[in-house]
Structure 1
Amino acid sequence: MCISVIEHTFIRRCPADKEVVQADVQEFVTKSSMRRKCFILLLLLLSGNIQPNPGPPLDHIGTPNDFKSRSGLGILHINVRSLLPKLDLIKIWVKSTDTDILVLSETWLNKSVPDKEISLTGYNIFRCDRPKKGGGVAIYIKNKFQVSLISSLSVIKQFEFIALKLQMSKDQSLTIMGCYRPPSANSEALSSLFNHVASLNAGEFVLTGDLNLDWLSPKSDNLKSVCDSLNLTQLIDSPTHPNIKNPSKSSLIDLILTDAPHKFTAIGIFANDLSDHCAVATVRNIKLPKTKPRILIRRDLKKLNEQAFIYDLSILKWDRISLIDDVDLAWQYFHDEFLNLINKHAPIRRFRVKGRNNPWFSPEIDNLIKDRDTAWCRARKSHSEADWLHFRQLRNKCTLLIKKAKSEYYLSETSKNLNDPKKFWKTVKSTYEPSQTNDFPNFLTKDGKQLTDKTAILDYFNDHFISAGSVFDSSIPNSGTSALNADAFETTKCPNTQFNFTDVSEQEVLRELKNLDTRKTAGPDKLDTLFLKLAADYIAEPLSVIFNLSFSCRKIPKVWKSAYVLPLLKGGDPAEVNNYRPISKLCILAKIFEKLVSEQLKDYLESNSILSEFQSGFRKHHSTITATLKVLDDVIQALDCKKYCVALFIDLSKAFDTVDHSLLIKIMSNIGISEQAVAWFTDYLSNRSQSVQISDSTSFARETQKGVPQGSILGPILFSIYINNLCHNLPNTSYHLYADDTIIYCCSQTVAQAFEFLQTAFDTFQARLRSLKMVLNAEKTKVMVFSHKREPQEITQVLKTETNKSIEKVNSYKYLGFILDSELSFKRHVASSLHKLKMKLGFYYRNKSCFSLKARKFLVAATFLPLIDYGDVLYMNASSACLQPLNTVYHCALRFVTGCSRLTHHCELYARAEWTSLSMRRYTHWITLVYKTLLGLV
């Protein structure tokens, strides 16, 4: 037994000398023990021919189902040759193998395909696309793992590469690398790839992908030498790119390389219905963390009897509320009674969410997949032409059956739900985006260290969101109140009347309750919108009493000042707290009350013309279009008069989060808000708190000392009041505000004079900004020169901040959703719109078999036309060369709607869809805008 092991070990790298080695071994072993010792020493001296870290022989996994029952970390690689059209097959692969890590090569993706369209439920995706057609790598990894991106590199005509660091335990990590090297890559590509791998100093790693070098061929000697130099072992031992006609020409080009082969227990090569490559898999020996079941905590509505709920509600007596003179006590009484009633009829329960197959996946498809895999195994062993033919027939039949099943399911669902928008859009969304979950991130990075404790993660999130408004305090010069710029606080027009609250009526409360969206979730008070809407007729009266009591007490219930904050990943590394956006959940009844208050406050502001006419944010008859139209009209008039126009686009840092409460109250007093109302607003802003909520876990509450409440109804209005005088009476300039989007511009006969005037106005603006304790974001603030001359002119003038930083000059800027360029050609805006429209078209055509003609028209009208119509009155007079690409994509959308061929004339497309041309749509929008302007509606 020992002899055979020695022979095997010695000859693994010397198969050609096998007979000689066997003879030498027998001769040495049959002699004295001294010679045995010499033999062992000789083996050690010759160990250069021994496989480094050979480890035990790897088990071979026969089928995907065997791979699913593995014990360890499962890694699967598939050369997919275009991911998008095969996404459904990929989902079936993931379901059947339950792989932990899925590496795909030749994804053929580009930036027009968003991550959400190719995402898989329960997995995070990392991708590296080739800038041009073809190539590309993507890695899907289960979201239960702690993983971070180390490297993503695409070298044109050489390779695409991704490296992820997987934290397996506190002291142990594994680097997962995926790569693709095209056949046309030159000899330098291989060395460049592995030089990059070596430069990462990744520790233990596994690299898998399609290198397009046959490991079984002498042509791979260079690759093997590189692997030897890096102490890498190639795990896959049989061809992965079969040649059916000539099996001897089959190649092994899909590789799994690792520097720790002894830690891998098994490999697998499986049939692949995605391309002509086999899928390759391996298992890393490690104890995996258990997958925690996804638990939802929500009310059990299955046994809800609405009639019984209404009956119990009708016998409740609310008379006591009118006898209570404290709003907190009155609210507490209402809340306890109503919440107890809800809990009785719909108690809160914990539900375990089970993974489900695609709704169109049938037992017939499942059985056909098994038959296909069995046929592949048989053909691979026999190399019989007939067996390969049988496999291909089953493979093609399986692919067609999957496409047919999906198309028929969605065609049926979208057609029958056309009259139910909620169900229709839910069905459409399910075609490209898995259900979103508010799950815990596995870890967060703080000061270079990883936070894994739930409580620590929650508190870190809360600290980060709370500090958004205070981190800029150090940027604001410490000046006393006497140094504050008075212009920022004095109103431009003192009203003759004061603002006082008027009692809200029961009918007003009932109206808002009836208009509640039952999809909205409950806030900190646990009162669900479904039950508030059901009970509207019975609770409108006691709620109106509580609302009016709030006015008389000059305070609001304490719980209405609290908020749950949900961290929403914007994109990028999920371990970085800066990549999360806070979404606030407030009490539903608090928002209803705020809406009624805002109606009174808005009426006062508008009737007394307190807000600047050049503030368009959050106001009736104002929009981004009217704001941009006003600015463009001023610029065009100046250019027509042979003037220059210099525009300063100002960005404020965390504007809504830096509102100072005491200054806001002072400004409100100055614009005529009564003492009683000011006391109410003071209480509204003070002692507010927030907690971060993820899944069923909530952080401790922390007080927010700055900013207007996020997600509130009153917040935007209060912000408009706060910055109302920020740009008032700036010398020799014009301005426009839309919330915190600010533009100051100056028109003059010379560029130098325009810059001089603008600098003076900018200095005044910054002084007022400092008075309001707000901070300019100099990096994102830009200046642009509009010129009436066609020839480009060198601009030497610069704008400076208070700290002597130069403001960057640009040739284009995105203002309120429109990309304005210095020539007013709108070419960049149209190009940006085209990119978005083509992404929509790509989704339409990839899923056209899922929608009937009626559903297609409904889909395009709701998602495509708003994009192409948005602000078209601004650029309707652009050159025909600029607008023609929009006509092209519009006609493509019409062909999708009507099902017509590419040869169909556009006039027939208009007739079949019953839509007009784009030029006519723009003209109609322009006429409508003029009409509304004449009537004072805009």
Structure 2
Amino acid sequence: MVITRIQSFFIPRVPVSVEKTAGRDVNTPKPLVLAPSLHENRNGLVHPYPLDTLDTCTSIGQIKNPTHFCNLTKNKSSLVYSKSSTPTPNSPPKTAHNNSIDIGEHDAGTPLNIGSSCPAELLGAEPYSGLTNELKYFKCYFNSHLYVILINARSVLNKLPMLRALTVIYKPPVIVITESWCHSDILDDEISLDNYTHFRCDREGGKGGGCLMYFLNELTVSQLESSTLNMPETLWVNVHLNNVTALIGCSYRAPGTFSNYETQLINTLEQLTDLQYDHKILCGDFNLPEINWDIPTGPTKFDKFLDTLDILGWKQTVTTPTRGNNVLDLIFCHNISPLSTLVGSEFPGSDHKTVMCALPIPLSSNASHTSTSQQVIYRNYSKANWALVESMLRSSKWDEYFTTDDLSRALTIFYHNSNICLDAVIPLQTLKVSPHRKSFIKPKDRKKLKKLSTSYFKHHDFGTLGLILKTLSSITQAQDFRMRKEERIAVASPARAYALTEILRKRMNRKNHSISLLIDKGRLCTNSADICELFNKTFAGNYLKPSVQLLDIHPITKMAPTPLTPNQISTVQFTYADINQTIRTLKSSKGFGTDGISSYFYKYGGPDIPLLLLKIFTMSLETQTYPDIWKTTFIMPKHKSGSKTEVSNYRPINITPIASRIMERLVKNNLIKHMLSCNIISPNQHGFLKSRSCLTCHLDFFNFVTSSRDRRQLVLVIYFDISKAFDRVDHLLLTNKLNSLGIRDPLLGWLKSFLNNRSQIVKLGSATSKPSPITSGVVQGSVIGPLLFTLYINDICACFTHGKPFIFADDLKVAYTFQRDDLGNFENVVQKELDKMAAWSSLWNLQFNLNKCGWICFGAPSIDLKLTLQSANLTRLRNVVDLGLRYSSDLTFSEQVASQTRKSRMLLGCILRNFHDNEAKLILYKTCVRPLLEYCPFIISSTRTRDKLRMESIQRYFTSKLLGYDCKEDYISRCMILKLDPLWTRRLIINLIFFFKVLHKISFSGNRDIQFAQEGSYDLRNQTSTVTTHSFKSTLRENFFTVMYSKIWNSLPLDIRTCSSVTSFKRSLYRLLHSTDYINKLFTPRTNQALIYYST
């Protein structure tokens, strides 16, 4: 009988390193590595797992004829085998102090059932050791406890097969990964693991780095985003388990950055210590090889950091080298002592060893991901029989509805009959929505994997690992096949652009964004109902107090409003045709307001619905009553920016009933006609009005700036931000202003009813808050609200005599021109107008967000101005983000080009990696990527040539990737093959169309630089329909839209300049610009500018 050595997966004293032996042949017997029966942690605590209770988990092979036993005796250098006698029934039992363990006898003639098919990619370089044994040990020991696996991956994308295999077999509760090397154009679906929820933190502004954390779906987890825990490349996740709250963090520090990182780390540890969690764990690769964590001590520069750990009570539990001879991957714990910490083998493809840490937090035996699912009540409109709905609606009892004069009674009958029809044809259904990502593994494959995993643990056969990998590979191939099929179906559909965009949206769908945790004054809020109440309280705090609106405390409400126009509007004539047309423009959506009726019902419920609504709308206006059932709105919190755990970073969006939105749109259209016909709305206002947009605002503003700079004037621009602008509109002051604009009863009374006695309910999934009154504001999310706000601030322009204001909704900027030698007097003039602004805001109960107000000067980067607003100094801005456009004082717009190309490159990368069909990629590029490159094209046309080429490089790259690198065609030829226009050609076309619209007053513009030339007493040949050209002194002005495109317009053929409609102009322009002989003429005298883009 020969005793064969067997590699065990036991670990020695905690912490310990199970290392590979360099240069050893895989067939060479290796010494057994085992642990004492009691495991001690750094605090001397002993966990209750005697070694001999795990004999059933120790053998890798099949042990036969166990008539002899082997004792393992510990020597100074290693653990070796020694022969022992057969035990007798009277042999003393093993104690906790024994240094040996019986593993049984093996027949030399029978090979061990280890399995030569075990893949080296999964187990590491040595098939008989590595992560498999170590993970198996942790699963056997700590299957009922929470344990964390820390991996330095050095790119997680190419290691997903190993990660997926390990998670299928062992299901570790938490996987923490540093150096994920993910970036923003890598989709969450690309790095997802089945049955796991993951969170990520990618490195900004560079390659490499990054953190990634996976949690079993059985765990209740949520990401913590706090402005106080703002270390770079750091991720925090809350874990709630069995009434225990733990905060687990992951951080990566690049080598050589400790001097800057130390202060942030110390501040973070201090902040973490004060947070109300039961336990806190921080894992990661900190690159601190100079510290000896056994003591711990290190060079003098680490004294402050080490002292902070001691003072705050943080313990670092890893002392065995994790990379070479250095301890780089660390685990810091606060208020918790790990049961065990193991430094295992190197993760395949990485030079860092894997660290596993078991925590004394029991896993719930009955935990299930379904326990966290939410019930959603909905109607399946896709299978609705709308002909039946129409028939049932017509046969309902409507006699009392058409005869009653009571609005409330009419609404009750309308909703009663409507709901009866919907319930009969499209009954309400309940759907359980899990917050976790949908599994990509089908039930049949999941059952097979479970069977293989069970076989592996039962028979200890490593050959099953190869079968698991093979099964996972076939699952991935099947997933790719399904994706290809989905793309082919979408490409073949009539609305293929929409279908492919929906697929892209689905594939780009990041982890569930449901709000599961908020931090309010240091208190964690995790209950859905409590979160709703917290949002409700915060949003209600934005409104003015009712006492502010008393008539006797505000000067404006004491007097009759001063009429601003003799024209009046008192009513709106509702017609069947107008209501029907408005319904047709509704978007098909399953969403609904507090009345429970979605837009599907109004769009597809039949021709009787406009008639029924006509009765309600007419009664509502005549009685000056906005229905009470419409006054309660659902509030959906929408994240603005910053941490998602801070309630102040959300704004409320009102979900109003669809019927109310239809009526509001009809009222709004009539109000706008009245205001524009009376020239009441300021020409400086570009928001929420037909023919006005961000582009028209940018055009007027930059035309003013460039023309002023061309006259060698300095330009000062002051940017204002009104705090909670839409929420703090005073209802009485607004009513007073509407009266002064010629709005009379019953329309004025209806608008008063629309504003007053409203209430809100915050809704998150199936959870809701209590109703809360809305005491001010114009209802964000309503149709008529933006117009009411526009009218409320319409007279703000009267504050400026010397400055020229530009307004888009509540975004206001004012431009001043001055000469450098008149700086002193100019500063006084500006300050007086700022004082007028402060007085105006006080009068109308609006406050400025002074942190977002500031100024910039074009032409004098070193000038220093002392300007104040509401007694606060205005800061000088170096860069500005204005209505989606980024620029600085040099007006090169390089920041905007960099931003547009970056966003486009990220989205393009997502499309190229996640779609297989070339036609689908081409459609998505034209639908989703190219529009990002074409925002504000007249600004891009004025940029430097290198920036234009930078924009063009996105399409160059796309065409080369789509046709393959084997394609030897140049860029223009590739565009012709794919039927794409070069971006510079498209900008030329888009800008000329915009020029046509401004010239023909289709698009609004407040400047007069774009207009037809004054014709003389006679016409010269080809001079009809030309525009006025402008002289210039600077390159900045020469390249600007109004100057450049005036020349281009005049060079167009006469038949194009005289087109009568946008459609005919666009058609003729396309035909012309696809004639290459004409390109150079458009750029005269710079004939080489167009040719630059023909390079490959």
Alignment TM-score > 0.5, same fold: yes
Give 1:917-928 correspondences, 5 Å limit: 917-928=982-993
Greater shift after overlay, 908-917 or 425-434?
425-434
Match of 1:327 among 407, 424, 448: 407
Amino acid across the alignment from 1:800: T
Q: For residue 856 of structure 1, report the CA deviation from its aligned partner.
A: 0.8
The offset of 1:928, in angstroms, is: 0.8
Secondary structure of 2:881's match? strand
1:40 alignment counterpart: none
Residue of structure 2 aligned with 1:295, choices 374, 382, 386: 374
The answer to whether structure 1 residue 635 and structure 2 residue 705 are counterparts is yes
Contact 1:209 1:255 in 2 (8 A): yes
1:424 counterpart (496, 500, 513) = 500
CA distance in 2, matches of 1:100, 1:913: 48
Aligned to 1:337: 417
**Structure 2 residue matching 1:889: 3-state secondary structure:** helix
After TM superposition, the structure 1 stretch with the greater mean CA deviation from structure 2, 820-829 or 192-201, is: 192-201
Identify if the C-alpha distance between structure 1 residues 129 and 373 changes in structure 2 by more than 3 Å, giving closer, same or farther: farther
Is 1:829 aligned with 2:890? no
> What is residue 246 of structure 1 aligned with on the other side?
none
8 Å Cα contact 2:570-2:748 kept in structure 1: no
With over 3 angstroms needed to count, the CA separation of the structure-2 counterparts of 1:194 and 1:225, relative to structure 1, is farther
Question: Is 1:543 the counterpart of 2:613 in the alignment?
Answer: yes
User: Aligned partners of 2:683, 2:249: CA distance in 1, in Å?
Assistant: 58
In 1, Cα distance between equivalents of 2:15 and 2:849: 67
Equivalent residue number for residue 746 of structure 1:
816
Q: 2:539 aligns with which of 457, 465, 473?
A: 465
Mark the CA change 1:574 to 1:186 in structure 2 (over 3 Å): closer, same or farther. closer
Matched to 2:699, the amino acid is L
1:526 corresponds to which of 580, 588, 596: 596
Aligned AA (1:54): V
Q: 2:524 maps to which residue?
A: 450
Q: Give deviations 1:128-177, integer Å, cap 9, x for gaps.
A: 6376432332334567247746886768xxxx66565656577x654434
Distance in 2, Cα, partners of 1:538 & 1:49: 77
Q: Secondary structure at the match of 1:919?
A: helix
Aligned to 2:181: 108
The CA deviation at 1:911 is 1.2
Residues 351 and 398 of structure 1: CA distance in aligned 2, closer, same or farther (over 3 Å): closer
- Corresponding residue number in structure 1 for 2:856: 784
**For 2:653, which of 557, 563, 583 is the aligned residue?**
583
Cα 1:374–1:799 shift into 2, 3 Å: farther
Q: Which amino acid aligns with 2:45?
A: N
Alpha-carbon contact 1:139-1:178 (below 8 Å) kept? yes
Please give the TM-score of this superposition, normalised by the length of structure 2: 0.69
Match of 2:840 in 1: 768
CA spacing shift, 1:509–1:324, aligned 2, 3 Å: same
Partner residue in 2 for 1:689: 759
| Contact 2:594–2:633 (CA under 8 A) maintained in structure 1 | yes
Instruction: After TM superposition, give the deviation of residue 472 of structure 1 in Å.
Output: 13
Corresponding residue for residue 428 of structure 2: 348
- Using a 3 Å threshold, how does the CA distance of structure 1 residues 632 and 685 change in structure 2: closer, same or farther? same
Corresponding residue for residue 25 of structure 1:
none
In structure 2, how many angstroms separate the alpha carbons of the residues matched to 1:449 and 1:561? 33
- CA–CA distance in 1 between the matches of 2:968 and 2:896? 29
Structure having the higher Rg: 2
Matching of residue 56 in structure 1 with residue 123 in structure 2: no
Summarize the alignment of residues 612-761 of structure 1 with structure 2, pairs less than 5 Å apart: 612-728=682-798, 730-750=800-820, 752=823, 753-761=825-833
SS at 1:909 equivalent = helix
Report the counterpart of residue 868 of structure 1 in structure 2. Answer: 933
Determine if contact 1:369/1:398 at 8 Å carries over to the other structure: no
2:314·2:332 contact (CA, 8 Å) conserved in 1? no
Partner Cα separation in structure 2 for residue 379 and residue 236 of structure 1: 31
> Residue type matched to 1:765 in 2?
M
CA distance 1:321–1:396, change in 2 (3 Å):
closer
How far, CA to CA, are the matches of 1:512 and 1:408 in structure 2?
43
Which residue identity does 2:982 align to in structure 1? S
Alignment coverage as a number of residue pairs:
857
Q: Distance in 1 between matches of 2:674 and 2:512?
A: 42
Provide Cα deviations, 1:71-130, integer angstroms capped at 9, x if missing partner: 333433333322356668767766766554331121113566687986789746253637
1:593 aligns to 2:663 (yes or no): yes
Tell me, yes or no, if the aligned pair for 1:83 and 1:108 is still in contact at 8 Å. yes
* Inter-partner Cα distance in structure 2 for 1:500 and 1:64: 81
Are the aligned partners of 1:331 and 1:546 in contact in 2 as well (CA < 8 Å)? yes
Q: CA deviation at 1:342?
A: 1.7
CA RMSD in angstroms, aligned pairs only: 4.6
Query: In structure 2, how many angstroms separate the alpha carbons of the residues matched to 1:191 and 1:802?
Result: 39
- Distance across 2 between alignment mates of 1:678 and 1:499: 9
8 Å CA contact retained: 2:149, 2:172: yes
Distance 1:196 1:705, change over 3 A: closer
Residue 959 of structure 2 aligns with an amino acid whose one-letter code is L
Match for residue 286 of structure 1?
361
Selected match of 1:83 from 141, 146, 156:
156
CA distance in 2 between partners of 1:806 and 1:189 (Å): 31
Q: Aligned-pair distance for 1:468?
A: 1.6
TM-score, normalization: structure 1? 0.80
Alpha carbons 1:273, 1:395 under 8 Å: kept: no
Distance 1:221 1:827 in 2: 45
Distance across 2 between alignment mates of 1:394 and 1:533: 54
- The equivalent residue for 1:29 is none
Cα distance between partner residues in 2 of 1:858 and 1:64: 51
Q: Aligned match of 1:800 in 868, 892, 901?
A: 868
Letter in 1 for 2:506: S
CA contact (8 A) 1:645 1:754 kept: no
| Alpha-carbon distance in 2 for matches of 1:825, 1:284 | 56
Query: Deviation per CA, 1:715-759, whole angstroms, max 9, x where unpaired?
Result: 011111111111136212211111011111112333615434333
Q: Secondary structure at the match of 1:835?
A: helix
Q: Distance in 1 between matches of 2:503 and 2:258?
A: 49
Amino acid aligned to 1:73? L
> Which residue matches 1:937?
1002
Which residue, 378, 385, 389 being the options, matches 1:309?
389
Paired amino acid for 1:413: E
For 1:657, what is the secondary structure of its paired residue? coil
Contact 2:251-2:285 within 8 A present in 1 as well: yes
The code of the aligned residue for 1:346 comes to I
Aligned to 1:481: 554
Local SS of the residue matching 1:728: helix
Give the 3-state SS of the residue equivalent to 2:375 in structure 1: strand
What are structure 1's unaligned runs of at least 5 residues? 1-10, 16-46, 214-218, 242-248, 382-386
Partner residue of 1:913 out of 975, 978, 983 = 978
Deviation per CA, 1:354-411: give whole Å up to 9, x if none. Answer: 6776447696798689979999999999xxxxx9xx98x8798678656544433222
What residue identity is the alignment partner of 2:565? C
How far apart in 1 are the matches of 2:876 and 2:15? 68
Kept in 1: contact 2:343–2:355 (CA 8 A): yes
Aligned mates of 2:741, 2:47 — CA distance in 1: 81
Displacement, 1:333?
1.4
Residue 815 of structure 1: aligned partner: 882
CA distance in 1: counterparts of 2:150 and 2:454, whole angstroms? 17
Judging changes above 3 Å, is the alpha-carbon distance between structure 1 residues 196 and 521 closer, same or farther for their aligned structure 2 residues? closer
CA spacing shift, 1:619–1:600, aligned 2, 3 Å = same
> Cα distance, 1:624 vs. partner?
0.7
Q: Which moved more, 1:681-690 or 1:328-337?
A: 328-337
- The residue type equivalent to 2:852 in the other structure is K
- Which digits, 9 at most, give the CA deviation of each residue in 1:451-485, with x for residues without a partner? 455544322211111212338999x9x99533899
Amino acid at match of 1:294: S
Greater CA drift, 588-597 or 197-206? 197-206
How many percent of aligned residue pairs carry the same amino acid? Answer: 22
CA contact (8 A) 2:225 2:645 kept: no
* AA in 1 matched with 2:46: P
Q: Quote the Cα distance in structure 2 between the aligned partners of 1:825 and 1:473.
A: 50
